[in-house]
A and B are shown apart, each in its own frame.
Chain A
Amino acid sequence: MNRVHNTKFVLWLIAGFAAAVVLNRFIFGLGVTTNLNDRTPWGLWIGFDVMGGVALASGGFVITAIFYIMKREQFYPLVKPAVLTAFLGYLAVISGLLVDLGLPWNIWHMIIYWNPHSPLFEVGWCVMLYTSVLLLEFSPVPLEKFSRYAKVRNFLMKFRFVFVLLGIMLSTLHQSSLGTLFLIMPFKLYPLWYSNILPIQFFISAIALGLMVVALESLVSHWLYKRKPETNLVAKLCRIAAWVLTLYFVVKITDIIAEDKFSLIFNGAWQSNLFIIEVLISTIIPAVLFAVPKFYNNVKVQWTGSSLVIIGMVLNRIDVGGLVMLGVTGDSYTPAWTEIVISLGIVSIAALVFLFVIENFHVWETQPIEPESIPHKLPLFDYSSRTWLGTPDVSSVTTHSLAFVISFAVGMALMPGKHLHSKGIDNIKVSPASGIDTLYINGNRDNQFVKFPHQAHISRIGKDSCFTCHHLNMPGEKLSQCWECHTSMYTSVDFFKHNSHISNKNANLKCDDCHKSGENRSALTAKKCTSCHPTYNFFTYGKNTIQKYKILSYTDAMHNLCVSCHILESRKLKDKPNLALCSTCHKTQLPDYLSAAVSWKIKVPHFNSVILPGVDLKKKIIKSVLKSQ
Chain B
Amino acid sequence: MRKAILTDITKCIGCLKCVSACKEVHSLKEDEPRIWQKNDGLSADNWTSIIQKPDSHYIRKQCRHCIEPACASVCPVGALHKTEIGAVVYDSSKCLGCRYCMMACPFGIPRYEWDKTVPHVEKCILCYDRIKKGELPACTNACPTGATIFGDRSELLKIAHKRIKENPGKYINKVWGEHEVGGTSVLYLSDIDLGFLSYPVNLETKPLPEKTAKAMESVPFAFVSMGGVMLGLNWIIRRRMELSKEQSKKKESEDE
A459 interface contact, C-beta 8 A: no
The answer to whether B77 and A110 touch across the interface, beta carbons within 8 angstroms, is yes
The answer to whether A120 and B76 touch across the interface, beta carbons within 8 angstroms, is yes
- In Å, the complex CA distance between A376 and B220 comes to 50
CB contacts (< 8 Å) of A183 on chain B: these are 211-212, 215
Task: List which A93-110 residues lie within 8 A (CB) of chain B.
Answer: 100-104, 106-107, 109-110
Given contacts A27-B117, A102-B119, A583-B56, contact A115 B75 (CB under 8 A): yes
The answer to whether B115 and A188 touch across the interface, beta carbons within 8 angstroms, is no
A611 interface contact, C-beta 8 A: no
B209 interface contact, C-beta 8 A: yes
Given contacts A28-B117, A103-B119, A104-B97, contact A122 B219 (CB under 8 A): yes
The answer to whether B215 and A31 touch across the interface, beta carbons within 8 angstroms, is no
Chain B 32-62 against A: per-residue CB contact (8 Å), 1 yes, 0 no?
Answer: 1111100100110000000010001000000
The answer to whether A184 and B102 touch across the interface, beta carbons within 8 angstroms, is no
The answer to whether A118 and B119 touch across the interface, beta carbons within 8 angstroms, is no
- In Å, the complex CA distance between A118 and B76 comes to 5
The answer to whether A184 and B97 touch across the interface, beta carbons within 8 angstroms, is no
The answer to whether A113 and B78 touch across the interface, beta carbons within 8 angstroms, is yes
A582 interface contact, C-beta 8 A: yes
The answer to whether B237 and A70 touch across the interface, beta carbons within 8 angstroms, is yes
B203 interface contact, C-beta 8 A: yes
CB contacts (< 8 Å) of A185 on chain B: these are 103-104, 106
The answer to whether B209 and A101 touch across the interface, beta carbons within 8 angstroms, is no
Residue of B nearest to A42 (CB): B103
A4 to chain B, nearest CB (A): 37
CB contacts (< 8 Å) of A101 on chain B: these are 96-98
The answer to whether A176 and B103 touch across the interface, beta carbons within 8 angstroms, is no
Task: List which B178-227 residues lie within 8 A (CB) of chain A.
Answer: 198-200, 203-204, 208-209, 211-216, 219, 222-223, 226-227
CB contacts (< 8 Å) of B208 on chain A: these are 184, 186
A29 interface contact, C-beta 8 A: yes
Chain A 59-73 against B: per-residue CB contact (8 Å), 1 yes, 0 no?
Answer: 000000100111100
The answer to whether B216 and A104 touch across the interface, beta carbons within 8 angstroms, is no
A581 interface contact, C-beta 8 A: yes
Task: List which B57-80 residues lie within 8 A (CB) of chain A.
Answer: 70, 73-79
CB contacts (< 8 Å) of A187 on chain B: these are 106, 198-200, 203
The answer to whether A177 and B219 touch across the interface, beta carbons within 8 angstroms, is yes
Given contacts A31-B114, A183-B211, A199-B215, contact A121 B230 (CB under 8 A): no
A296 interface contact, C-beta 8 A: no
B238 interface contact, C-beta 8 A: yes
CB contacts (< 8 Å) of A186 on chain B: these are 204, 208, 211
B73 to chain A, nearest CB (A): 5
The answer to whether A115 and B76 touch across the interface, beta carbons within 8 angstroms, is yes
The answer to whether B76 and A38 touch across the interface, beta carbons within 8 angstroms, is no
- In Å, the complex CA distance between A170 and B34 comes to 42
- In Å, the complex CA distance between A179 and B100 comes to 14
The answer to whether A71 and B111 touch across the interface, beta carbons within 8 angstroms, is no
The answer to whether B219 and A165 touch across the interface, beta carbons within 8 angstroms, is no
The answer to whether B74 and A119 touch across the interface, beta carbons within 8 angstroms, is yes
B47 to chain A, nearest CB (A): 13
The answer to whether B32 and A328 touch across the interface, beta carbons within 8 angstroms, is no
- In Å, the complex CA distance between A102 and B199 comes to 24
The answer to whether A41 and B112 touch across the interface, beta carbons within 8 angstroms, is yes
The answer to whether B216 and A29 touch across the interface, beta carbons within 8 angstroms, is no
Partner of A121, one of B76, B116, B226: B76
Partner of B114, one of A36, A196, A331: A36
B170 interface contact, C-beta 8 A: no
Residue of A nearest to B199 (CB): A187
Partner of A169, one of B52, B56, B120, B226: B226
Task: List which B119-161 residues lie within 8 A (CB) of chain A.
Answer: 119-120
Given contacts A172-B222, A185-B104, contact A180 B216 (CB under 8 A): yes
B1 interface contact, C-beta 8 A: no
A168 interface contact, C-beta 8 A: yes
B233 interface contact, C-beta 8 A: yes
Chain B 225-252 against A: per-residue CB contact (8 Å), 1 yes, 0 no?
Answer: 0110011011001100100000000000
CB contacts (< 8 Å) of B76 on chain A: these are 110, 115, 118, 120-121, 124
Among A71, A118, A165, the one with the most B-chain Cβ atoms within 10 Å of its Cβ is A118
Among A109, A168, A196, the one with the most B-chain Cβ atoms within 10 Å of its Cβ is A109
B95 interface contact, C-beta 8 A: yes
- In Å, the complex CA distance between A199 and B213 comes to 13
A423 interface contact, C-beta 8 A: yes
The answer to whether A172 and B223 touch across the interface, beta carbons within 8 angstroms, is yes
B10 to chain A, nearest CB (A): 15
Partner of A173, one of B33, B108, B200, B219: B219
- In Å, the complex CA distance between A173 and B14 comes to 50
A545 interface contact, C-beta 8 A: no
The answer to whether A118 and B96 touch across the interface, beta carbons within 8 angstroms, is no
Footprint of A on B, CB under 8 Å?
13-14, 32-36, 39, 42-43, 52, 56, 70, 73-79, 94-100, 102-104, 106, 108, 111-112, 114-120, 198-200, 203-204, 208-209, 211-216, 219, 222-223, 226-227, 230-231, 233-234, 237-238, 241
Beyond the given pairs A117-B212, A119-B74, A196-B214, 4 more chain A to chain B contacts, judged by CB atoms under 8 angstroms and listed by A's residue number, are: A37-B34, A181-B100, A328-B199, A583-B52
Can you list 20 pairs linking A and B with CB atoms under 8 Å apart?
A31-B115, A38-B36, A38-B42, A109-B77, A109-B94, A114-B77, A115-B78, A118-B74, A118-B75, A119-B74, A120-B75, A120-B76, A121-B76, A122-B216, A173-B226, A183-B212, A184-B208, A328-B200, A330-B39, A424-B32
Task: Name the 8 nearest CB pairs between A and B, nearest first.
Answer: A102-B97, A31-B114, A121-B76, A41-B99, A424-B32, A115-B78, A106-B96, A113-B77
